[in-house]
Amino acid sequence: MNAEMLLPEPRDNLVYIVDDDVDVRVALEALLQSVGFQVMTFPSSEEFLARVPISARACLVLDVRLTGQSGIALQNHLMRLDAKLPIIFISGHGDIPMAVRAIKAGATEFLTKPLRPQELIDAIHVAFEKYDERSLVDRALASAKTRFDGLTAREKDVMALVTAGYGNKETANILGISEPTVKAHRGQVMKKMDAESLPDLVRLAQELELPIKDR
């Protein structure tokens, strides 16, 4: 594995390798450390689960066929735990149906052995990019949820109706309040939700999965 390789950015790039072949673990550890990744290796899914905090910012390079719990079983287990860890599957068997299932279940890549060094490194870069993108989305959603929780009950009612397409007059009739009061609540909702426009507010309502009001 002596091909010219791109160096990762100097940040906390932690890669977990789970493979029951010691030669593969040693080779991949040497490869990834040589280009600046931090690496931890494990011979089994069970040892990985026993030793690793799955909430860490990291990438998992995972063999499909393992002694004990398989790589696919580990992926399913991590999904049940709602782990955000991006997974790159590696396999010496080229099992296409298995690869399709793994990708559909959320794996970022499925590579076949013998691995090409740059292909693996590129896949890990992509995995970290996807992890960071998802983290940004999760933080934005959490922030929106906090802002929504800060609305009064009446403001939540107004938000649900106006984002469902009801006008101020219709909203006032449904809630049994005056139209100026609806406008005042609507203004407070826009301010508290940090929405610059109605489309912004609609997008936030969709992200928060607010109940859809029947017209």
Q: Return per-residue pLDDT of the chain as tens, 215 residues.
A: 333 444 334 346 899 999 999 999 999 999 999 999 999 999 999 999 999 887 888 999 999 888 888 999 999 999 998 888 999 999 887 677 777 778 887 889 999 888 999 999 999 999 999 889 888 888 889 999 999 999 999 999 999 999 999 999 999 999 999 999 999 999 999 999 999 999 999 999 998 987 755 55
**pTM for the predicted model, two decimal places:** 0.71
* pLDDT tens digit sequence for 14-49: 999 999 999 999 999 999 999 999 999 999 999 999
What does the domain layout of the chain look like in residue ranges?
A: 14-139, 150-207
Q: What is the assigned CATH class of domain 150-207? A: mainly alpha
Contacts of 13 (CB under 8 A, 6+ apart): 36, 37, 38, 59, 124, 128
CATH architecture assignment, domain 14-139: 3-Layer(aba) Sandwich (3.40)
- Look-up of token digits 């990708």: 103
Q: State how far the alpha carbon of 8 is from the alpha carbons of 125, 180, 204, in Å.
A: 7, 57, 35
